[in-house]
Amino acid sequence: MTVQAHGGLRPIDLKDPDLYQPGVPHETFAWLRANHPVYWNPETDGAGFWALTRHADVMAVSTDPATFSSARSNGGHRIFNENEFTETDMEASMISMDPPTHVDYRRMVMGGFTPPRLRDMEAGIRQRAVNLIEAMIEARRASDAPIDFVSAFSAPYAIQTLAELFGVPESDGDKLFEWSNTVVGEDDPECRSSREFMERSMGEMAMYAMGLWQARSGAPGGDLISMLVKAAEDGTEMSLPRYLSTFILLVVAGNETTRNSISGGLIALDENPEQREAAMADPALLPHLAQEIVRYISPVLHMRRTATRDVEIGGQPIRKGDKVVMWYASANRDDSVFEAPHRFDITRTSRPGAPKHVGFGFGEHVCLGQRLAELQLRVAYEELFARLPDLRPAGAPRRLRSNFINGIKSLPVTFSAG
Ligand code: HEM
């Protein structure tokens, strides 16, 4: 059933990227949770999909991959059908696979995110934060013009960590940044200006990824690419198209999300000065700040599954083959789970029995880089609070036009250079 929006003027279309341009439409999601928590969203260019807006339904679907498939052959993890997408001929990466195969591919790179590995990375992450902050201070001393926080800090910070994971020079970060924007910016002409541009970017990324494969085949290291090479040598099926799609997944998953969390966190802290003061006064709260930022922002707005059999969700019959889209941005503000869900509260997760947010997904495909992302957020804010205590947004953010990534393209900031 298609319903009228709470204003009663037009049907709700959660797929419309313009809906997210002013920010996540939390009122619309609240209305859906209360009135149509399993909402049929028609599509003009597709079969339509079930939109899940409640936390309990998102958790249930995420933990039942046999019934709710991510496999590319069933359509994959995006609202559009990946198996009908003709712009590339890549094979599925782990995010578009079901168990048991999914586990084999996930295991290949898990070694890159273990607690000891993350402990080893922390000093380098901190040094990068310090270097970027010092460059911002230099820029401030040279000019009074507002500084763009995204290009000066959150983007290079996330991409340089990715460069470390890949074992490539930080100077390759600009290329990785551009390719990643092209992949997720399908609805934003500033990121993907044309089909030709997309094809050229994908071609460049493929050449780059193949060069890395060749280099690591002769001289393996401890990086993610070497782990993929080793898995292939040990017998895991790794065709060139499969390797390329895995490479792209890692570039996009570890970059956009972390960048937008850091930028979005700065806005949330500015809008909630008492939370900002509490975080600055008590470093023990910073791991909780990282978690609350991801709940509050929901950097990934949704993921899609496909029903493999007739089933019910919240009493609503779902037919085999139907698309089911889990709106994390809504589940993370579900007031049947989170007390005062629209309040940015960095002490929330420090309370015993605090409910779990789904900003990193849940279940079978829960984010592989979750701990790394939380580490990066914590260290970023430790250094920003210590070195730029009066850092604040100085204007409105420019938002990515997307129904998938809650993205911030630029954010002017001010601070005193001391
Ligand atoms: C704040 C930052 C991040 C957020 C909000 C985030 C969010 C997510 C979400 C929602 C999923 C679930 C996909 C699904 O259920 O279909 C996911 C999966 C994934 N993430 Fe993250 N992510 C973040 C950072 C990272 C980082 C830093 C990396 C690695 C460098 C990473 C790598 C991955 C990978 C490889 C998957 C696929 C896992 C699988 O299919 O088993 N993510 N992420």
The model's pLDDT over 266-283, given as tens digits with 9 standing for 90+, comes to 999 999 999 999 999 999
Q: At residue 89, does pLDDT exceed 90?
A: no
Q: Give the pLDDT mean for 37-63.
A: 97
Q: At residue 370, does pLDDT exceed 60?
A: yes
Tell me how far the alpha carbon of residue 417 lies from the centroid of ligand 1, in angstroms: 35
Q: At residue 342, does pLDDT exceed 60?
A: yes
Q: What is the C-alpha end-to-end distance of the chain, expressed in Å?
A: 59
Q: Give the pLDDT mean for 380-391.
A: 97
Tell me, using a 6 A CB cutoff, whether residue 251 lines ligand 1.
Answer: no
Tell me how far the alpha carbon of residue 307 lies from the centroid of ligand 1, in angstroms: 22
Nearest-CA residue for ligand 1 atom 3 is 257
Distance between CA atoms of 95 and 249, rounded to whole angstroms? 8
Tell me how far the alpha carbon of residue 376 lies from the centroid of ligand 1, in angstroms: 14
pTM to 2 decimals? 0.95
Among the ranges given (231-235, 307-311, 380-384, 404-408), the one the predictor scored with the smallest mean pLDDT: 231-235
Distance between CA atoms of 93 and 71, rounded to whole angstroms? 9
Range list of β-strands (E), 46-177:
49-52, 68-69, 147-148
Distance between CA atoms of 342 and 320, rounded to whole angstroms? 35
Q: At residue 61, does pLDDT exceed 50?
A: yes
Tell me how far the alpha carbon of residue 93 lies from the centroid of ligand 1, in angstroms: 13
| Residue bearing tokens 């850092």 | 391
Whether the upstream peptide bond of residue 100 has omega within 30° of 0, thus cis, is: yes
pLDDT class of 235 with cuts at 50, 70, 90:
confident
Q: What is the rounded average pLDDT for all residues in the chain?
A: 93
Distance between CA atoms of 284 and 137, rounded to whole angstroms? 27
What integer pLDDT is reported at residue 8 of this predicted model? 52
What integer pLDDT is reported at residue 86 of this predicted model? 53
Model pLDDT for residues 169-193, shown as the tens digit of each residue: 999 999 998 888 888 777 887 777 7
Q: Give the pLDDT mean for 43-70.
A: 97
Amino acid type, 380: A
| CA 45 vs CA 76, 169, 198: distances in Å | 17, 42, 21
Distance between CA atoms of 254 and 259, rounded to whole angstroms? 9
**Strand, helix or coil for residue 233:** helix
Q: Candidates 61, 302, 366, 367: which one to mutate for ligand 1, based on the most atoms within 8 Å of Cβ? A: 367
Q: At residue 142, does pLDDT exceed 80?
A: yes
Nearest-CA residue for ligand 1 atom 7 is 360
Range list of β-strands (E), 134-177:
147-148
Using a pLDDT cut of 90, give the percent of the chain over it: 81
Q: Candidates 257, 325, 408: which one to mutate for ligand 1, based on the most atoms within 8 Å of Cβ? A: 257
Which residues contact residue 352 at a Cβ distance below 8 angstroms, ignoring those fewer than 6 apart? Answer: none
The runs of H, that is alpha helices, within 93-154 are 101-110, 115-142, 149
Q: At residue 305, does pLDDT exceed 50?
A: yes
Q: Give the pLDDT mean for 209-223.
A: 93
Tell me, using a 6 A CB cutoff, whether residue 368 lines ligand 1.
Answer: yes
Chain centroid to Cα 93, Å, comes to 16
**Strand, helix or coil for residue 301:** coil
Share of the chain residues as helix, strand and coil, in percent rounded to the nearest 5: 55, 10, 35
Which residues contact residue 311 at a Cβ distance below 8 angstroms, ignoring those fewer than 6 apart? Answer: 67, 317, 318
pLDDT class of 5 with cuts at 50, 70, 90:
very low
Tell me how far the alpha carbon of residue 140 lies from the centroid of ligand 1, in angstroms: 34
